Amino acid sequence: MKTPAPAAKTELVIITGLSGSGKGTTLKALYGRAHRAPNVFEHDYADGVTQVANPALNGETIDTLELVMDQRIGESLRLRGSLYHWKMTGLITLGIDPVSGLSQYQSGEDVKANGAELSADKTWEWAGRLRGSLSYQDVAFASGARLDNSPQLLGKLNFSGPLPATNLRLGYELQYYSKRQAIDGTKLDGYWLSNLNLIADKWAKRLEVSLGIYNLFDAHYAHPGSDINWQNAIEQDGRSVRVKLEYGF
């Protein structure tokens, strides 16, 4: 498993806004730069059978620019819209050593991304909460080639709140992922995914009981495999049910 190395990060934030009477608009411009040095496994590991080291491996750097507008409507509704651009240079990828023919971590192509996101967060006095977001991203290598496992559209909808007369809290999550590219260049279908949770934390002192139903509607979907898998796509679990009990001492 790849263990991330510590990253150095700098960030500049400019904020301006107007507010009053429970309403307000905030505008933010954010610029950031982060650097990650290769970890020991990427830089030094070699077994002579499957992988060779790369003492000359450099780190990777990402520069980000984001424009954000937050709009508060009363005390219970918040809206957000953002536009962003980022560029990653020296992306560390698993390649092939031209001398030995074995796997080796190398500095790959630069990657650029442009995207936009809209989100909303609504709360009610009876402790209900509804959150949703929709994002679009266009990500590609500097050569124009598309990235594997990088959906262009992502959507999320979350609702949580108490169920009357039951001492239960309900949580529902709906997710959408658009088509993604697999390692052989083909497209995997997009999919919808639903999760449902019921939580009882008032039935007994210090006891919390929860029931989770994941992939509620038994959607059939797969994730792209990596270059170390023989599968082009890896089938994911169907509907599953989990019961959890927690007791605090």
Within-domain flag for 55 = yes
Q: Are residues 111 and 16 in the same domain?
A: yes
pLDDT for residue 22 is more than 60? no
Q: Are residues 14 and 109 in the same domain?
A: yes
Within-domain flag for 137 = no
More confident residue, 231 or 177: 177
Within-domain flag for 93 = yes
- Supply angle C-alpha 143, 68, 124, rounded to 5: 130
Share of the chain above pLDDT 70, in %: 90
Instruction: Encode pLDDT of 56-110 as tens digits.
Output: 999 999 999 999 999 999 889 999 999 999 999 999 988 899 989 999 999 989 9
Domains: count for the chain: 2
Q: What is the pLDDT of residue 17?
A: 60
Q: Are residues 105 and 205 in the same domain?
A: no
Q: What is the pLDDT of residue 152?
A: 95
Q: Are residues 156 and 107 in the same domain?
A: no
- The three-state secondary structure class of 42 is helix
Q: Are residues 81 and 158 in the same domain?
A: no
Q: Are residues 161 and 240 in the same domain?
A: yes
Q: What is the pLDDT of residue 117?
A: 97
Structure tokens at 169: 């809290």
Q: Are residues 110 and 153 in the same domain?
A: no
pTM over 0.85: no
Within-domain flag for 225 = yes
Q: Are residues 109 and 152 in the same domain?
A: no
- Supply angle C-alpha 93, 98, 99, rounded to 5: 130
Could you give phi then psi for residue 42, rounded to 5 degrees?
A: -70, -35
Which of 98, 115, 132 is the last residue before a domain boundary? 115
Which of 100, 115, 130 is the last residue before a domain boundary? 115
Query: What average pLDDT does the chain have?
Result: 89
Q: Facing residues of 82 across strands? A: 68, 117
Q: Are residues 10 and 108 in the same domain?
A: yes
Within-domain flag for 217 = yes
Which of 115, 140, 156 is the last residue before a domain boundary? 115
Structure tokens at 43: 């830089």
Range of the domain at 104: 1-115
Q: Facing residues of 198 across strands? A: 170, 211
Q: Are residues 103 and 12 in the same domain?
A: yes
Within-domain flag for 29 = yes
Instruction: Encode pLDDT of 199-228 as tens digits.
Output: 998 777 888 899 999 999 999 999 998 777
Within-domain flag for 178 = yes
Instruction: Encode pLDDT of 145-174 as tens digits.
Output: 888 889 999 999 999 999 988 889 999 999
Within-domain flag for 138 = no
CA-wise closest residue to 91 among 65, 115, 113: 113
